[in-house]
């Protein structure tokens, strides 16, 4: 798989290095000016973090999603120098009623290790995914996002739609949508 972006091309075997700025223009985190390695990885590389953050008190199978086997799935991870996954997210094509006519991609399983939060890592990962979706012809990105993360999504250009709904066992969610520019 090769993904084109404004910095060139990358594949499952080649890390994507970015120093992109958040959509709101703010820079956060002590390593914001350094190169960030974000790689396309297999599900196996992100499953432990996804489980630990999103489904910690449930069997690991609850962190395995049917979409993980989609032929166009894109699992992204931010890894440290030792190869440990610090943050992850999964993108795949799926329409949403909140972006009719769009070539929509959904993401889910977004997780960042507790000791790495509030450093801009998740935002960099999300922006890399949006760039990859746009390179694949996507015109909208969406998720079922936790209410507690609403401000994060809004900072990255997402708009909430509909009423709050409950996703068991994760809790209250909104649908967040962003048109890809």
- Can you list the alpha helix ranges (DSSP code H) found in 26-181? 43-54, 121-135, 150-155
What per-residue confidence (pLDDT) applies to 169?
A: 77
Overall residue count recorded for the chain in this entry: 181
At residue 152, the 3 state secondary structure works out as helix
> Taking 50 as the threshold, does the pLDDT of residue 117 lie above it?
yes
| Band of pLDDT at residue 170, cut at 50, 70 and 90 | confident
In this structure, how many other beta carbons lie within 10 angstroms of the beta carbon of residue 58?
A: 11
Average pLDDT over residues 94-120: 94
Question: Using one digit for the tens of pLDDT, what is the confidence trace for 33-56?
Answer: 345 689 999 999 999 999 999 999
Q: Can you tell me the distance from the alpha carbon of 17 to that of 37, in angstroms, rounded to the nearest whole number?
A: 5
Q: Which is more confident, 47 or 8?
A: 47
Estimate to the nearest angstrom the gap between the alpha carbon of 170 and the chain centroid.
Answer: 17
> Taking 50 as the threshold, does the pLDDT of residue 16 lie above it?
no
Average pLDDT, the chain: 83
Residue 151 φ then ψ, to 5° = -65, -40
> Taking 90 as the threshold, does the pLDDT of residue 23 lie above it?
no
* Cα–Cα distances in angstroms (integers) from residue 155 to residues 62, 144, 163, 165, 176, in the given order: 29, 16, 20, 21, 12
Enclosing domain of residue 95? 2-179
Can you give the CATH number for the domain in which 87 is found?
3.40.630.30
How many domains, in total, are found in the chain? 1
Provide the pairing of β-strand 104-112 with 140-146.
Answer: parallel
Cα distance between the two ends of the chain: 23
Q: Can you tell me the distance from the alpha carbon of 142 to that of 161, in angstroms, rounded to the nearest whole number?
A: 10
Average pLDDT over residues 90-101: 96
What per-residue confidence (pLDDT) applies to 15?
A: 44
> Taking 90 as the threshold, does the pLDDT of residue 25 lie above it?
no
Helix (H) or strand (E) run with residue 17 in it:
strand 16-18
Average pLDDT over residues 121-147: 95
């Amino acid at each position: 798989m090769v993904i084109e972006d404004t910095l060139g091309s990358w594949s499952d075997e080649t890390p994507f290095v970015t120093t992109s700025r958040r959509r709101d223009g703010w820079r956060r985190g002590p390593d914001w000016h350094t190169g960030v390695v974000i790689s396309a990885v297999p599900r196996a590389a992100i499953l432990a973090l996804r489980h630990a953050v999103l489904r910690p008190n449930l069997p690991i199978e609850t962190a395995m999603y049917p979409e993980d086997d989609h032929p166009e799935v894109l699992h992204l991870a931010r890894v440290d120098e030792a190869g440990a996954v610090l943050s992850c997210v999964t993108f795949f094509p799926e329409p949403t009623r909140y972006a009719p006519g769009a070539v929509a991609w959904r993401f889910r399983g977004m997780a960042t290790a507790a000791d790495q939060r509030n450093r801009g890592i998740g935002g960099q990962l999300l922006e890399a995914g949006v760039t990859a979706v746009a390179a694949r012809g996507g015109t909208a990105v969406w998720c079922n996002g936790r209410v507690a993360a609403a401000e994060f999504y809004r900072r990255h250009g997402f708009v909430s739609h509909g009423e709050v709904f409950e996703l068991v066992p994760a809790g209250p969610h909104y649908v967040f949508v962003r048109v890809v520019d």
